[in-house]
Amino acid sequence: MTEFDPRIIAFCCNWCSYVGADLAGTSRLQYPHNVRIIRTMCSGQVFPSYILKALELGADGVMIAGCHIGDCHYVSGNKKAEERFRMLLGIMKTLGLDARRIRLEWISASEGVKFANTIKEFAREIKELGPRNGGKE
């Protein structure tokens, strides 16, 4: 049997986290290949339905990454993201999904190391959780 190779989607904001991910690259930091980054203008632009859609399509984990609180390029988009994320967490169980499959992170443009470490950690956790279709989710 082949090893479980999770599929992770990361919505990264244009101003902080996407740049942090780029910095991980420029710094040649290695992290698991499982993540696919989708650039958004702001974490506050991520509809809750994006996460649900990704999960519906079989993603094993979904991350939203934005600027640190207080640093949002658009003043308060990350706070809005946080509220919506909390709401999402609340319905994960109802949907029969493990809440650990979704994640909200603040990663600044200077935190290439944090980006790489976060992906490592998230990928490890998702591997531990196992595949969605293999389980009951």
Partner 1 sequence: MTNIGIYICHCGTNIAGMIDVEELARKAAKLKDVSVVKDYRYLCSDPGQDLIKEDIRSMDLDRVVVAACSPRMHESTYRKVLSEAGINPFLLEIANIREQASWVHSEKEKTTEKAFDLVRIAVAKVKKDESLESLPADVIQRVLVIGAGIAGIQTSLDIANIGYEVVLVEKEQSIGGRMSQLGKTFPTLDCSACILTPRMVEVSTNPKIRLHTYSEVEEISGFIGNFHAKIRKKSRGLNPDLCTGCGECTARCPTKVPGEYDEGMGKRKAIYTLFPQAVPNVPVIDRANCVYITKGKCGICKKVCPAGAIDYELGDEIVEEEVGAVVVASGFDPFDPTSKEELGYGRYKNVITGLQLERLLHTAGPTKGEVIRPSDGAVPKRIAFVQCVGSRDEHANKYCSRVCCMHAIKNALLIKEHHPDAEIFIYYIDIRAFGKGYEEFYKRTQEHGIKFMRGRVAEIFEENNGNVVVRADDTLLGMVMENEVDMAVLSVGMVPRSDSAKIQKLLGIATGSDGFFMEAHAKLRPVETLVDGVFLAGTAQGPKDIPDTVAQAKGAASSALGVISHKVLELSPLISEVDERLCRGCGDCKDICEYGAIELITLDSRNAARINPALCKGCGACTVACCNGSIKLRNFTDTATFAMLEAVLGGEA
Q: Contact with partner 1 (CB under 8 A): which of 16, 67, 116, 126?
A: 116
Residue 133 lies near partner 1 (rule: CB under 8 A): no
Query: Candidates 16-24, 85-93, 96-104, 128-136 — which segment interacts with partner 1 by CB under 8 A?
Result: 16-24
Q: Contact with partner 1 (CB under 8 A): which of 73, 89, 127, 130?
A: 73
Host H or E run for residue 89: helix 77-92
Residue 6 lies near partner 1 (rule: CB under 8 A): no
How many Å apart are CA 59 and CA 78, to the nearest integer?
23
Query: Candidates 74-82, 91-99, 100-108, 126-134 — which segment interacts with partner 1 by CB under 8 A?
Result: 74-82
The contacts of residue 22 (CB under 8 Å, 6+ apart) are 112
Shortest distance, position 33 Cβ to partner 1, whole Å: 5
By CB neighbour count within 10 A (0-12 exposed, 13-18 middle, 19+ buried), where does 119 fall? buried
Query: Candidates 68-76, 90-98, 100-108, 128-136 — which segment interacts with partner 1 by CB under 8 A?
Result: 68-76
Residue 42 lies near partner 1 (rule: CB under 8 A): yes
Question: What does the DSSP 8-state code read for residue 2?
Answer: P
The contacts of residue 4 (CB under 8 Å, 6+ apart) are 127, 130, 131, 134
Host H or E run for residue 61: strand 61-66
Which residues sit at the interface with partner 1, rule CB under 8 A? 7, 9, 18-19, 21-22, 24-26, 28-31, 33, 36-42, 44-50, 53-54, 57-59, 70, 73-77, 80, 84, 116
